[in-house]
Amino acid sequence: MAESGSRATGDVLTQRLGYLLKHVQARLAEESARALEPFGVSGRELAVLAVLGEDRPISQLEGAGKLGVDRTTMVALVDRLERDGLVERRRSELDRRKNVVALTERGEDLLRRAEDARRRMEREFLAPLGGAEAEWFLRALRLLLADDSR
């Protein structure tokens, strides 16, 4: 979505959880794109970097699992990051079917700086809620995601 221009929303819409969630998400995506533009990565790519740089090196499939993306999607994401010199694939020595994906020095550096920018952006985005309630909001989102009744 990039068509979140009009704010002339009638009540039938601002009553709908689906509408609200979708448009708040679109709005954040805009802000995120703006904030990350200087770093040349998208929010998704930054999330991939964050997962890959978390602690021990992991395989593409493991990363895909954490991110909740398909393994074919993961190929394209890692392709892009590798082309930009932010990560490196190497064949696992324990299981040569697997790619272990590690951050390069450039990747580590960009991760740190871009994560700072992202955190600032998110804080600003949530500012209308006030500090304590921003925390509450994040907790609520985590709760809704964790509820595995599916």
First to last CA, the chain: 25
> How far, in Å, CA of 22 to CA of 12, rounded?
15
Stretch that binds DNA, among 72-80, 104-112, 116-124, 130-138 (CB under 7 A): 72-80
Cβ atoms 37, 106 nearer than 8 A: no
| Structural tokens at position 67 | 């991110």
Binding flags for DNA, 28-57, as an x/- string (CB under 7 A):
--------------x-x-------------
The partner residues of 100 in beta bridges, in order of sequence, read 59, 90
The partner residues of 102 in beta bridges, in order of sequence, read 88
Number of residues near its own copies (by CB under 8 A): 58
Binding flags for its own copies, 26-65, as an x/- string (CB under 8 A):
-xxxx-x----------x---x--xx--x----------x
Considering only 68, 93, 96, 132, the residue that binds its own copies (CB under 8 A) is: 68
> How far, in Å, CA of 116 to CA of 119, rounded?
5
Span 69-98, contacts to its own copies by CB under 8 A: 69-70, 73
CA atoms within 13 Å, Cβ hemisphere of 5: 1
Judged by beta carbon, residue 76 or residue 91, the one nearer its own copies is 76
> How far, in Å, CA of 73 to CA of 6, rounded?
32
Phi-psi region of 40 (alpha: psi -120 to 50; beta: other; left: phi over 0): left
Stretch that binds DNA, among 11-19, 73-81, 102-110, 127-135 (CB under 7 A): 73-81
Judged by beta carbon, residue 3 or residue 105, the one nearer DNA is 3
Residues that bind its own copies (CB under 8 A): 3-10, 12-14, 16-25, 27-30, 32, 43, 47, 50-51, 54, 65-70, 73, 118, 122, 125-126, 128-129, 133, 136-138, 140-148, 150
